[in-house]
Amino acid sequence: MKRFSWLLLVIVGFLVTGCGPSKEEMTARKGVGLYALGDFRGSIATLKPLAEKPDRHYVLNNLRLGSAQLAARDLEEAEYSFLRAYEVMNATRVNDAARQVQAVVFTESARIWRGEPYERALANISLGLLFYHRGDINNARAAFENALFKLRDYANPKDKPEKFTEVENNLPLALLMLGRCFAMIGESQLAEASLSQLIDARPEFQDLAEAIYDRRNNVLIVVEQGMGPTKARSSDDGSLVEFLPLPTNAPPIFRPELRVNGRSLDVGAMNLPTFDSIAMAQDRRWQSIDTIRVTKSVVGTGMIIGGAATTAYGIDRGDSGTALVGLGVMAAGALLKASSQADVRHWEAAPRTAFVLPIRLPPGRHSIDIQFPGAMHLNQSWKNVEVPSGRDTLLYIRAINATAGTFDASGSLDSTPIGSAPINAAPFSSSPNEPVRAD
> What is the residue-wise DSSP string for 386-399?
EE-TTSEEEEEEEE
Residue 164 is predicted with a pLDDT of 80
Q: Is residue 191 part of a domain?
A: no
Q: Is residue 347 part of a domain?
A: no
pLDDT at 76 over 50: yes
pLDDT at 322 over 80: no
**Gap between the Cα atoms of 404 and 296, Å rounded:** 48
Range scoring the smallest mean pLDDT among 151-165, 239-253, 356-370: 151-165
Q: Is residue 418 part of a domain?
A: no
**Gap between the Cα atoms of 348 and 29, Å rounded:** 9
**Size of the chain, expressed as the number of residues it contains:** 439
Chain-centroid distance of CA 358 in Å reads 24
Asked if residues 177 and 214 have their Cβ atoms less than 8 Å apart, the reply is no
pLDDT in tens, 125-163: 999 999 998 889 999 999 999 999 999 887 665 656 667
Q: Is residue 299 part of a domain?
A: yes
List the end-to-end C-alpha distance of the chain, in Å, as a whole number: 89
What is the band of 425 on the pLDDT scale with cuts at 50, 70, 90? Answer: very low
Range scoring the smallest mean pLDDT among 74-78, 273-277, 401-405: 401-405
pLDDT at 385 over 70: yes
Q: Is residue 121 part of a domain?
A: no
pLDDT at 295 over 60: no
Phi, psi of 271 (to 5 degrees): -85, 60
In terms of DSSP bridges, do strands 380-387 and 405-408 run parallel, antiparallel, or are they unpaired? parallel
Q: Could you tell me the residue range of the domain that residue 328 belongs to?
A: 293-338
pLDDT in tens, 106-122: 344 457 888 999 999 99
- Burial string for 299-320 (b: 16+ CB within 10 Å, else e) reads bbbebbeebbebbeebeeeeee
Average pLDDT rounded to a whole number, residues 373-402: 91
What is the band of 330 on the pLDDT scale with cuts at 50, 70, 90? Answer: low
Q: Is residue 250 part of a domain?
A: no
Q: Is residue 73 part of a domain?
A: no
Helix, strand, coil % over all residues of the chain, rounded to 5: 50, 15, 35
Range scoring the smallest mean pLDDT among 162-171, 301-310, 399-408: 301-310
Asked if residues 64 and 45 have their Cβ atoms less than 8 Å apart, the reply is no
Output the CA angle 230-231-234, nearest 5 degrees: 125
% pLDDT > 90, the chain: 55
pTM for the whole thing?
A: 0.79
What is the band of 411 on the pLDDT scale with cuts at 50, 70, 90? Answer: low
Average pLDDT rounded to a whole number, residues 305-326: 62
Asked if residues 311 and 4 have their Cβ atoms less than 8 Å apart, the reply is yes
Number of domains, the chain: 1
pLDDT in tens, 5-63: 555 554 555 444 445 688 999 999 999 999 998 899 999 999 999 999 988 999 999 99
Q: Is residue 315 part of a domain?
A: yes
**Gap between the Cα atoms of 350 and 58, Å rounded:** 16
